[in-house]
Chain A
Amino acid sequence: GAVVSQHPSRVICKSGTSVKIECRSLDFQATTMFWYRQFPKQSLMLMATSNEGSKATYEQGVEKDKFLINHASLTLSTLTVTSAHPEDSSFYICSARIGVTNYGYTFGSGTRLTVV
Chain B
Amino acid sequence: DQQVKQNSPSLSVQEGRISILNCDYTNSMFDYFLWYKKYPAEGPTFLISISSIKDKNEDGRFTVFLNKSAKHLSLHIVPSQPGDSAVYFCAASEQGAQKLVFGQGTRLTINP
Chain A 63-114 residues near chain B, CB threshold 8 A: 91, 93, 95, 97, 102-103, 105-110, 112
Task: Decide yes or no whether A29 CB sits under 8 A from chain B.
Answer: no
Q: Determine which of B34, B102, B104, B105 lies in contact with A103 in the assembled complex, contact meaning CB atoms within 8 Å.
A: B34
Given contacts A102-B49, A103-B49, contact A112 B41 (CB under 8 A): yes
Tell whether, in the assembled complex, residue B99 and residue A46 are in contact, meaning their CB atoms are under 8 Å apart. yes
* Residues on A with beta carbons closer than 8 Å to the beta carbon of B2: 43
* Residues on B with beta carbons closer than 8 Å to the beta carbon of A32: 98
How many residue pairs at the A-B interface have CB separations less than 8 Å?
Answer: 60
Q: Which residue of B lies closest to A41 (CB)?
A: B9
Q: How far is the CA of A110 from the CA of B39 in the complex (A)?
A: 11
Q: How far is the CA of A81 from the CA of B55 in the complex (A)?
A: 42
Tell whether, in the assembled complex, residue A108 and residue B34 are in contact, meaning their CB atoms are under 8 Å apart. no
Taking the closest CB of chain A, its distance from the CB of B101, in whole angstroms, is 8
* Residues on A with beta carbons closer than 8 Å to the beta carbon of B45: 107
- Inter-chain pairs besides A102-B32, A103-B49, A105-B100, 7 sampled, C-beta below 8 Å: A34-B99, A41-B104, A46-B100, A49-B99, A105-B46, A107-B45, A110-B42
Q: Which residues of A contact B (CB under 8 A)?
A: 4, 6, 9-10, 32, 34, 36, 41-46, 49, 91, 93, 95, 97, 102-103, 105-110, 112
Q: Which 4 A-B pairs have the closest CB atoms?
A: A107-B43, A102-B32, A44-B102, A43-B104
